[in-house]
Amino acid sequence: MLHTVRFLCSVVAAVARLIRELRRRTALLMASSTCSPSPVVTPCPAGLISAFTPLPSRRKKAAAVQKQPLAVAPPAAVLPNGEQAEGRRTKKEAWAARRRPARLVIPVADDVGEVAAGWGAAAANAAAKEADVVVEGEGFRVASRAGPRHAMEDAYAVVTHKNDGDPQLAFYGVFDGHGGRAAVDFVSRRLGENVVSAVLAAATCEEASPTAAEEEEDAVSAAIRLAYLATDSELLAQHQQGVTGGGSCAATAVVKGGELYVAHVGDCRAVLSHNGGAAAALTADHTCAADSERQRIERDGGYVCRSGGSGVWRVQGSLAVSRSFGDAGLKRWVVAEPAVTKVVLAGGECEFLVVASDGLWDKVGNQEAVDVVSRNRTTACEELVDLARRRGSRDDVTVMVIDLERFV
Ligand SMILES: *[C@@H]1O[C@H](CO)[C@@H](O)[C@H](O)[C@H]1NC(C)=O
């Protein structure tokens, strides 16, 4: 009984904080949008990667959200952000000389205990369909390349929370949008912050009842789940305000207190390397190829069928993933309820985590990906993107490798 109460306390605190934060953000947004100047962007020739400036505080973040209205088309600009990242362990590079040099977003955490966030989305416009991004930050590396035939709809995000420079919590995410960039832009900006806020709130509640360690673990997973659902609600509310639809898959990792929590919706996948390079998928793709997903949809009155020559199962004959953010028209079946998996990192058997969009996994196996990373972590993300492309991937490919040994 007591445990139940403590658990509820955690969940309630998480939700309350999340809601407070959302209200505050909405109020700020509304206040600023009434007199907002047009977005200030640096014009840039074709080929572009857009970057959202890393922001050291929530207040600045709200201002930047206002500068990057969601309704805009794929941004054709580079927002210089290196200045704010000065002195940090950051690095930018392109790995293919024939292409435009990669631009990047560096997530930067400040040292004062605020939630600090950076997020990024690479966008290739119609004039330059291919674009590379490589990002290296604290304990992670990302490579991303747009498919040759369409605008980039992948994104990634990293959010870290520090207390006096002591890392408390880190969030990593890879996102794969469909039906335009609106949904993936939104989710890559908001999900990390929502997750971090909810997880911190759950932890605060737990400190008040330290014996409830068992429940706190559940509370972190519950907080992540609630943050996913809250982010989906926010996105759907945006859609109602006239922003075009579409949706986004996501795979995210939270590291907190020596524990790893992997969550996902859709077909982005997270694969763990453990015990000297053995691959273990921590996510199970949410597609209608999975019996359980097909049954869930049919139980709720939806239908699933195989369409076209590809034989891909589709929800209501249209969408190939069975869970996602957005996709308002299919929301009754295509839910944003994530699957959450927890892994204890203590003991040092876990080396790294590979999180990637289906552009990689369609062409490269789990163990194969882990083997490539094990050989050389510095070049692995680019190698994997190249490998998927060489094998004929026409999709966007985004690969993130997260070093787990540093958290032990
Ligand atoms: C990884 O590749 C880079 C670039 O080719 C090279 O400089 C580095 O020495 C390699 N590292 C290992 C551990 O092989």
pLDDT digits (tens, 9 = 90+) for 350-388: 999 999 999 999 999 999 999 999 999 999 999 999 999
- What's the sign of the alpha-carbon dihedral 161, 166, 169, 173? positive
Which tokens belong to 339?
A: 């699957």
Q: Are 336 and 324 in contact (CB under 8 A)?
A: yes
The single residue listed with the structure tokens 């309704």 is: 71
In this prediction, residues 16-29 reach a mean pLDDT of 52
- The verdict on the CB of residue 244 being under 6 Å from ligand 1 is no
* DSSP letter (8 states) at residue 58: H
The secondary structure element, H or E, covering residue 386 is helix 380-390
pLDDT of residue 134: 85
Angle between helices 182-207 and 213-240 (to 10 degrees): 150
Distance from Cα 119 to the centre of ligand 1, integer Å: 27
| pLDDT tens per residue, range 46-100 | 222 223 323 233 333 333 333 333 222 222 222 223 223 323 333 344 444 334 4
Mean pLDDT lowest among 42-51, 144-153, 180-189, 372-381: 42-51
Q: What percent of the chain has pLDDT over 70?
A: 62
Q: For domain 133-286+321-407, is the CATH number 3.60.40.10? A: yes
Our CA angle for 56, 62, 63, nearest 5°, is 90
User: Which of 376, 377, 401, 403 should be mutated for ligand 1, with most atoms under 8 A from CB?
Assistant: 376
Please give the full DSSP string across 295-358, using - where no structure is assigned: HHHHHTT--EEEETTTTEEEETTTBSBSB-EE-GGGTTTSB---EEEEEE-TTS-EEEEEEE-H
- Domain ranges across the chain: 2-99, 133-286+321-407
Among the listed residues 355, 359, 367, 366, the one whose alpha carbon sits nearest the alpha carbon of residue 390: 359
> At 183, is the secondary structure helix, strand, or coil?
helix
pTM for the full predicted model = 0.73
Answer yes or no: are the C-beta atoms of 184 and 165 closer than 8 Å.
no
CA-to-CA dists, residue 138 to 109, 127, 351, 367, 379, angstroms: 10, 33, 15, 25, 16
* 224-269: pLDDT as tens digits: 999 999 999 999 998 776 656 799 999 999 999 889 999 999 999 9
CA of 350 to the centre of ligand 1 (A): 22
Does residue 379 line the site of ligand 1, with CB under 6 A? yes
136 has a pLDDT exceeding 70: yes
Protein residue with its CA nearest to atom 10 in ligand 1? 376
Cα–Cα distance measured from residue 92 to residue 192, given in angstroms and rounded to the nearest whole number: 23
Calculate how far, in angstroms, residue 118's C-alpha sits from the geometric centre of ligand 1. Answer: 28
With residue 398 as reference, give the H or E element that holds it: strand 397-403
**123: burial class by Cβ within 10 Å (0-12, 13-18, 19+)?**
buried
Structure tokens of 351? 């080396």
Rounded (to 5) percent helix, strand, coil in the chain? 35, 25, 40
Q: What are 235's two structure tokens?
A: 């996105």
138 in Cβ contact with 382 (< 8 Å): no
Q: Is the distance from CB of 272 to CB of 263 less than 8 angstroms? A: no
Q: Tell the residue nearest (CA) to atom 7 of ligand 1.
A: 378
Which residues touch 125 (CB under 8 Å, ≥6 apart)?
Answer: 46, 47, 48, 74, 76, 151
Q: Is the pLDDT of residue 122 over 60?
A: no
Q: Is the CB of 66 under 6 A from ligand 1?
A: no
| Six-digit token string for 120 | 């990024």
Tell me the two tokens of residue 224: 């992540």
